[in-house]
Structure 1
Amino acid sequence: MSIPTILVTRPSPAGEQLVNRLRTLGLMAYHAPLVNLSPGNDLTRLPVLLQAMQPGDLVFVLSQNAIRYIHPLLNRNKLSWPAKLTYYAIGRSTALALQAVSHLPVNYPLNVSTSEGLLALPELQRVNGKQALLLRGNGGRALLGETLIIRGAKVSYCECYQRNPVYYDAHKQSAYWQHARINTLVVTSGEMLQQLYTLIPAYYRSFWLLHCRMIVVSERLAAYANRLGWHDVRVAEGADNDALIRELQ
């Protein structure tokens, strides 16, 4: 492939940060977020939910976006992350972000930033009688919660943020991206992948979109991209911007 011209679809601020870093490295990159973020419907309930948990109960933080909304809420209420709980993160970047604001240990899978990787941790094989609180956005995969229930945990969810679709003029945006010679796409969720596929009209999809290289963050997402018609799909080592830059270079 020729020198990459990259379209980053992840929401702000991470999407803008990634584009700025790529441009600093001399690469052509554009930002077109397919979702924007807002506070979740359950966010204000979270302090009560955390305080009601017992020592040793489990808290799962499923993205850095959750921390972005939770930590300011705790600060405003003069609260801290309860030290009596055991914390898990979906991947290294989320774990480091949580450690930075909570000053507490956070467990995470070392090799893959996925629900499957998290569920493979030895300490999560037997969770009988534990309360498990999943801090996440609206919707998302049910695998983590369903598996923890099978293993004996009592699972509850807290919607800490919402992903809201960003709407574009399909023909105008497709023509602009093709004219800009976009040939590499960065997509970090199945929701955004489906939205991108649906946004682009069939003509542009056949002659341009499906011929772009696709950079994704999990094997599951790569398989989905293949089913939709992409052939050149690469999986980054993680979902953080550092891993994406390594793959793009």
Structure 2
Amino acid sequence: MTAWRLLLTRPADECAALAASLAEQGVFSSSLPLLDIQPLVESAEQRALILDLDRYCAVIVVSKPAARLGIERVDRYWPQPPARQAWFSVGAATAQILSDYGLDVSYPADGDDSEALLDLPQLHAALARPDPRVLILRGEGGRELLAERLRGQGVVVDYLPLYRRLLPAYPAHALAQRIEAERLNGLVVSSGQGFEHLRQLAADAWPQLARLSLFVPSRRVADLAHEAGALTIVDCRGANAVALLAALRECPAPAF
């Protein structure tokens, strides 16, 4: 496992935490954040959704930034969140942020993706009431599968977008130069948009970079990478350090 030399692409603070976890296991990593989180200015429509929080039988939070910013909004308008309201997250790290705030959160233990969440018995129980409504806290233009599946079950779904994800400004060829200079042999992305930013920054170097092992958090992102021509894709079934380390143990590092 220690032969891996990885490029990390999460937001800067998450890169630092992941790099520390990898270093403890002897894995070299280099951070090039490809997601800059920019909170959205609160609109009247967004404020109305939070003020009507008690209309929803379940609240789903899809990312750590959505958890942090969502808690800020809830704390601003609700001295105490609505009683008996079910909260859900896509992954354990997001759940921890919500739990630290005092919310009772359920999340799938076997994968950080929408499919695993939709199979969660606690979510089925929360929706087993007349006219169920769900609020999804996410970034601007986030994942659609959750809402599509829930609406197919007759659930009313509203979105509360809290932030947008921007590609930080880097010089041309910064990505390819970093990979070559540090002899990196694996790329790590944590979301579909993170992968799209990777391709965008790679530009005409993408055909070469597509030969590197690409570690992704879910089948959805794996499908995006496959369609884009990535040759070696590893679905970690999660976006956390534990899932990545497990995948690295299963995959032999390529020889230089």
Give the direction of change, closer, same or farther, for the CA distance of 1:2–1:58 in structure 2 (3 Å limit): closer
Give the direction of change, closer, same or farther, for the CA distance of 1:111–1:20 in structure 2 (3 Å limit): closer
1:156-190 superposed Cα distances (whole Å, 9 cap, x missing partner): 11112221221222224422321211111001112
Give the direction of change, closer, same or farther, for the CA distance of 1:76–1:51 in structure 2 (3 Å limit): closer
Q: TM-score, normalised by structure 1?
A: 0.86
Contact 1:42/1:159, CA 8 A, preserved across alignment: no
Amino acid at match of 2:120: L
Structure 2 match to 1:174:
176
1:154-173 correspondence runs (5 A): 154-173=156-175
Structure 2 match to 1:150:
152
- After superposing the two structures, state which structure 1 stretch, 44-53 or 181-190, moved more: 44-53
Runs of 4+ residues deviating >6 angstroms: none
**Number of equivalences:** 246
Which of 185, 188, 199 is 1:186 aligned to?
188
Flag structure 1 segments of 5+ consecutive residues without an equivalent: none
- Cα distance in 1, alignment partners of residues 78 and 153 from structure 2: 35
Structure 2 match to 1:206:
207
- After superposing the two structures, state which structure 1 stretch, 234-243 or 185-194, moved more: 234-243
- Cα distance in 1, alignment partners of residues 152 and 181 from structure 2: 51
Structure 1 position 22, deviation (Å): 2.0
Contact 1:53/1:131, CA 8 A, preserved across alignment: no
SS in 1 for 2:210: helix
1:86-235 correspondence runs (5 A): 86-102=86-102, 104-122=103-121, 123-124=123-124, 126=128, 128-202=130-204, 204-207=205-208, 209-235=209-235
Structure 1 match to 2:240:
240
- Cα distance in 2, alignment partners of residues 31 and 154 from structure 1: 40
- Cα distance in 2, alignment partners of residues 54 and 2 from structure 1: 49
| Percentage of pairs with the same residue | 30
- Cα distance in 2, alignment partners of residues 21 and 205 from structure 1: 28
Structure 1 position 83, deviation (Å): 2.6
- After superposing the two structures, state which structure 1 stretch, 164-173 or 232-241, moved more: 164-173
Q: TM-score, normalised by structure 2?
A: 0.83
Contact 2:71/2:98, CA 8 A, preserved across alignment: no
Give the direction of change, closer, same or farther, for the CA distance of 1:48–1:18 in structure 2 (3 Å limit): same
The CA RMSD measured in Å over matched residues stands at 2.6
Structure 1 match to 2:252:
none
Structure 1 position 43, deviation (Å): 7.6
SS in 2 for 1:211: coil
Flag structure 2 segments of 5+ consecutive residues without an equivalent: 250-256
Contact 2:54/2:82, CA 8 A, preserved across alignment: no
